[in-house]
Amino acid sequence: MRAVPLEALRPLFDDEHVTELLVNGPGPVWVERDGVLARTAVVVDRVALERLIERTLGPIGRRVDHASPYVDARLPDGSRVNIVIPPIAVDGPCVSIRRFRRGFRDLAQLARPAEADLLAWAVRARANILVTGAAGAGKTTLLNALASVVPSTERIVTIEDAAELALAAEHVVRLEARPPNSEGLGAVTVRDLVRNALRMRPDRIVVGEVRGTEVVDMVHAMETGHHGSFSTCHANNPRDAVQRLEAMLLSAEASMPVPVIRAHLASCLDLIVHVERHADGTRALGEITEVLPLAPDHRALTLNVLVQAGRPVGVPRRPPRTATVPPFVWGHP
């Protein structure tokens, strides 16, 4: 195929069904449309690809070069872009742009009735909720929907590496991490922002994703009165998510014994909600699991599965973190 001008990409950007635009070096452009990857008829050459990178990064004051061969940033429209160039990208510059649909989706649109009832109750009961799943499974979308249940009188502070959340709540403060400048100075990490958020009078804290040492401050926030907080984590299932959190805490606090780490997790974490993306592009909640308090004679965390594939299989055993909300009963959210 003959390479086309850069303007030929515009219809792909304007297509509301396209959520990912992927350029794997000179050659065909790929998109994710309605959850399914597809090769388009658009082909870009090296010159058009370099122009795309220049036009993308120029307005936001970022750059990518031999010294810094990759960049992750947020575009003015809220889309997230990742660019990798040689020598890291062997076959030429790669551009990945994730677009976010602006149409709000509430719990009823994302979850089956049993799941929606349980999650709505959990938010009102100020449960600390961790959303897990693979990249593109819908974790951020679910966080947006969970926030729609938060009472309008509560103040939410969101913290992200690259701002993606657009919470349907009345009182939201959005914080975004900042990479270092060309001299390696001025970086503001997610962990810095979590610590700062504790001084901003939050009722709930939402960390877009925990992947490193910021997990220590997130656990601290959940344990010290900021109940009803949310976060996400890449994991294959709730059990793997618990192991990942343990590993991150151990990496950040090497002197902390594993039993103490597990005691902290059991104290602060209430629900793990796992989301999945199926082969046909559809997304669904796979499992909702409760993390039980650590019994004195147990060293490992105990998980209580509440919902699988939309069907109730258990009842929450942890009491609500707020006395104004009664215990959950199926059929009476």
Which strands form 27-33's sheet, in the order they lie side by side? 36-44, 27-33, 18-24, 94-98, 80-84, 70-74
Residue 332 domain flag? no
Which pLDDT does position 99 carry in this prediction?
82
Let me know how long the chain is.
333
* CA–CA separation, 242 and 160 (whole Å): 21
Q: Tens of pLDDT along 202-249? A: 999 999 888 888 888 888 888 878 899 999 999 999 999 999 999 999
Q: Tell me the CATH number at 50.
A: 3.30.450.370
Which pLDDT does position 2 carry in this prediction?
43
* CA–CA separation, 303 and 109 (whole Å): 27
Can the peptide bond before residue 69 be classed as cis, meaning omega within 30 degrees of 0?
Answer: no
What is the number of structural domains in the chain? 2
Same domain for 305 and 175, yes or no, is yes
Residue 13 domain flag? yes
Residue 323 domain flag? no
Report which of 118, 144, 137 is spatially closest to residue 208, judged by C-alpha positions. 144
Same domain for 201 and 246, yes or no, is yes
* CA–CA separation, 192 and 213 (whole Å): 10
Beta strands (DSSP E) in 118-181 are 129-133, 156-160, 172-176
Which is it for the CA torsion 273, 277, 282, 287, positive or negative? negative
Domain end point (choices 55, 76, 98): 98
Q: Tens-digit pLDDT profile for the chain (333 aa)?
A: 444 445 677 888 888 889 889 999 999 999 998 878 899 988 888 888 888 898 888 888 888 888 889 988 888 877 888 999 999 999 899 999 988 765 556 888 889 999 999 999 999 999 999 999 988 888 988 998 998 899 989 999 999 887 888 887 889 999 998 888 777 788 898 889 988 998 999 999 999 888 888 888 888 888 878 899 999 999 999 999 999 999 999 998 878 888 889 999 999 999 999 999 887 778 889 999 999 988 776 678 899 999 998 899 999 999 999 989 999 988 765
Same domain for 308 and 232, yes or no, is yes
Same domain for 144 and 17, yes or no, is no
Same domain for 177 and 212, yes or no, is yes
* Cβ pair 91, 75 in contact under 8 A: no
Same domain for 139 and 258, yes or no, is yes
Q: Tell me the CATH number at 197.
A: 3.40.50.300
Residue 60 structural domain: 6-98
Same domain for 264 and 191, yes or no, is yes
Place of tokens 């902290």: 264
Same domain for 236 and 292, yes or no, is yes
* CA–CA separation, 83 and 90 (whole Å): 13
Residue 328 domain flag? no
Same domain for 166 and 68, yes or no, is no
Residue 331 domain flag? no
Same domain for 120 and 137, yes or no, is yes
Residue 330 domain flag? no
Residue 326 domain flag? no
Structure tokens at 41: 């008829």
Single-letter residue type at 76: P
Single-letter residue type at 51: R
Same domain for 240 and 122, yes or no, is yes
